[in-house]
Structures are given as C-alpha cells and as structure tokens.
Structure 1
Amino acid sequence: MTYVPARPLGGGAFRSHVPGGNLHAAQSPRPGDGRVRPAGRRRRPPRARRGSEAWILADPLAAAESYATAEAGLNALAVASGLAYLATVVVFIVWFHRVAKNASVWAPDLQSRTPGWAIGAWFIPIADLWIPRQIAVDAWRASRPDPHAADGARELTLLNSWWTCFVVGLVLDRLSSTLYKRVETLDALTTAATWSLVGYSFMVAAGVLAILFVRRLTSMQHTKATGMLSAAK
C-alpha cells in the first residue's frame, strides 16, 4: 500500500488511497456556524466600488488611467464652454450697454448708474452679483410707456428668474473651481465634477431666460422708440 500525504487544511479536499476504494472529499466545518462545507471552498472578498479609496489601492494603475481620462474630458468640456461663454459675454455686454444708454435718455432720473456701469459692473468681484441687475431693472422701467408707473405684480418675474439662475450658477462655478484645485482622489474629483455640472445646469437655465429677457426688453425699447418717432412726426 502506498501512502499519499493529505493536503494542508484549507488548501482543498483531503485525499487518501485505499485499495479498491474511491476518492472522497473530506468535509471541513466553518468555525462558528456549525455547518459543513467542502474543504477549500471560500467566499470571494467583496469587490471594491469603482472610484473608492479601496479600489485605488487595489489597482492604482487603473485608477490613474481613469483619473487621466476623466480629467481630459473635463478639460475639453471646460475649454469648449469657456470659448462659447466668452463670445456670448461680449455680445451680451454690448447689447446691455446699448439698452442702458437708451434708458438714460428716456428716464435719466430713474437711472441709479451711468451707462458705463453696464460694462464695468460685470468685472467687479462681489459687485457683479447685484449691480447689473439694478441696471437691468432701471432700463426695464425706463423702457415702459410710463417709466414712473408702479411695477406690475409679476412684471419683473422674468428678470428676477434670469438673475437668480445666473447668480446661483456663478457661485457654484466658483465653488467647483476651488474644489478642483484641491483634488487628490477620485472621490474628490467626482464631488468637484458634480458641483460643476449643477452649476452648468443653472447657467443653461440662465442662458435660456437671458434670451427671453433680451428679446422682451429689446421689443419694449423698439416699440417705445418707434412710438416716439411717430409722435414726433
């Protein structure tokens, strides 16, 4: 009879050689549960969530590649949106200065700022959060048939909605920029990207409302100017 050594505990089934017999898998109980399972059968450890700290430590190369891909995509998005935003800003500020200048002719006593502020106010930190709105309100009132009439119940809803979305989007954009500068992990990058996307959402809404506001105020000024020319004739 030839003796075949058994495998160590946990490495698989115990085997013995018995003449005329069969190979049998020994059963090894798991401590604490009282059940019997085939030896060597283990549970797989839970997989780390993609992007978590555990995933980064388990596969740093894949984490670095994922980080680089995400960063490249976000940078491309930032460049494209930045160029589109810059072009829009230039056109909008030129228009904004024009309507403010018209308003200063029609109702100079209602204007809290000179037309030059319609350009400069956008480039003053903190002040850019309220001065442009004030200029827009003054221009709106001056463009009505009766500039000194009281505001209607919901007359400034469009203007206020546009400005609210713009300010919220601007604040969130600055917040996400600060978070990007502190990014060291994928979790931090995800957080920064999330706030950035929320900010972009508000900016998109502000853009749509700004188009409606521009069309409405331009129409008001065109109607008033046309009426004044007709009256002069």
Structure 2
Amino acid sequence: MEDRIALSPLRPVRGAARCAVAALVLAGAAWVARALWQIRLAAAGMPASGPPDQGEGRHRPLTALEDGYHIVTTLGGVATVLCAITFLIWLSRARDNARALSGEPPRYGWPWVYAGWIVPIANLWVPRGVVADIHRASAPGERLPHAVNWWWGLWLVGMLSGTGLMYTVSTDHVIERAYQNVYPLLAADTAVVAAAVAAVFVVRALTAAQRRRGDV
C-alpha cells in the first residue's frame, strides 16, 4: 500500500524529462503560431460577408486565412495533448522517485497526479501541490524554485482567462473574436506560452534535484 513505503530503486527520469521539455517547447511554439495567426486575422479585418458563423446554424465559406487558422488550431490542440501526456509521464516518475527518496507517503495520493488537473476547484492548487511535494522530498531543506510559482500562476491565467486553455467555444467563434477584439486572445496566448517556458524550468529543476540524489 502507498501509505507503507519501503525504499525502492529510483526510476529513470532523464528520458521522460527530455520528452516533456521537447513537448513543452512544441506546445509553446504552436500557441505562438496561433497568436500570430490571430494577429493576421485582426489585421485583415472581418470580411464584408460577416463572421464565419452566421447564426441559426448557417455558416459561410471560410476564407483562406480562416481555413489556415483552423489548421493551426488543430495542430496546436494535438501538440497540447502530446505535451500533457509527456508531462504527466514525467510527473508520475518524478513523484515515485520522490517517494522512494523520502521514504514517506506524499501528501496527495497517486490518483491526484491525474485527477488533480480535471476536478473542479481542486485543480486550482492540487497540481502545484504535487510538484511542491516532489521538490520537498527530492531536495529537502532547499527553497522551492521560483519557476514553480511562475508556472502555476501563468497556467491559471491561461486556463481561467476565458480565452485560453479552457476556452471551449468553436474555432469560428474565436475567429470572430479575433476580428472584433484580438487583445484578450493574445493575452491568454501569451500566458499559455509563458507557462510552457516556466514549466521547462520546473522539469529541469526537479529532475536535476533527483539526479543529485541518485543515478536517474
């Protein structure tokens, strides 16, 4: 059982960390491309025929620029999913190593490594708590890296801004918003990209802390 922990060999984490960093860079680049395309839409202005979604279930044919934004958004979604998978693989391995290094049960049980991101309200602090626990066990007595707080703060901005990661309306509606007022979209995109950059430093810092304690 998880609450009765014996010392165990550390799991290899370097490979998972490299994959997570690469996926974070890819996702950040995808959101940069998304932002640049939104700027292009805003600069072009809304066509005389109006927004793509005409209301009452009617949609006009997309322009080449709008069709390109659909492609960019789809590729960005794929990159984000890949990033989430690789980050969670790294997080799971780092948590197992932290548990082995400390010999103590972590504050959050293993289901929270995954559920903490999707359970409402809890997702406002649980993932950061999991990361903080990993650092505390991997580098006892050391201060939590500033990158952790930057990452989490920027993640929350991107998630809760109403135009970022949790923005669930159609791509056509986002295109309409880019035509009308692109700045909130760009602010959310900037937060997401900055969170990805900060997450790279988080992965590197926690992995380095564990490598100092053993060959992982």
TM-score bin, normalised by smaller chain: 0.5 to 0.7
Which residue of the partner structure matches residue 206 of structure 2?
A: 217
Q: For the residues of structure 1 that align with 2:183 and 2:72, how far apart are their CA atoms?
A: 14
1:162 matches 2:151: yes
1:132 matches 2:127: yes
Q: For the residues of structure 2 that align with 1:211 and 1:163, how far apart are their CA atoms?
A: 12
Q: TM-score, normalised by structure 2?
A: 0.62
Which residue of the partner structure matches residue 73 of structure 1?
A: 68
* Contact 2:178 2:185 (C-alpha < 8 Å) held by counterparts: no
Counterparts of residues 49-68 of structure 1 (less than 5 Å):
51=45, 59-60=48-49, 68=63
Counterparts of residues 32-181 of structure 1 (less than 5 Å):
51=45, 59-60=48-49, 68-107=63-102, 109=104, 111-144=106-139, 147=140, 149=141, 152=143, 155-172=144-161, 173=164, 176-178=167-169, 180=170
Q: For the residues of structure 1 that align with 2:65 and 2:184, how far apart are their CA atoms?
A: 15
Pair 1:126–1:184, CA change in 2 (3 A): closer
* Contact 1:107 1:142 (C-alpha < 8 Å) held by counterparts: yes
- Rg (Cα) greater in structure: 1
Pair 1:106–1:205, CA change in 2 (3 A): same
Q: Aligned residues, how many?
A: 165
Deviations 1:131-154 (A, max 9, x none): 11001001101011xx2x3x64xx
Q: Match of 1:60, SS? A: coil
* Contact 2:165 2:192 (C-alpha < 8 Å) held by counterparts: no
Equivalent AA in structure 2 for residue 127 of structure 1: A
Deviations 1:191-219 (A, max 9, x none): 47543332222111111111111111101
Pair 1:136–1:143, CA change in 2 (3 A): same
The two structures, once aligned, show a CA RMSD in angstroms of 3.4
Q: For the residues of structure 2 that align with 1:73 and 1:197, how far apart are their CA atoms?
A: 18
Pair 1:105–1:184, CA change in 2 (3 A): closer
In structure 1, the gaps of 5 or more residues are 1-49
Q: Match of 1:99, SS? A: helix
Q: TM-score, normalised by structure 1?
A: 0.58
* Contact 1:104 1:115 (C-alpha < 8 Å) held by counterparts: no
Task: State the identity %.
Answer: 24
Equivalent AA in structure 1 for residue 192 of structure 2: M
Counterparts of residues 177-216 of structure 1 (less than 5 Å):
177-178=168-169, 180=170, 183=173, 186=176, 188-191=177-180, 193-216=182-205
* Contact 1:176 1:193 (C-alpha < 8 Å) held by counterparts: no
Which residue of the partner structure matches residue 37 of structure 1?
A: none
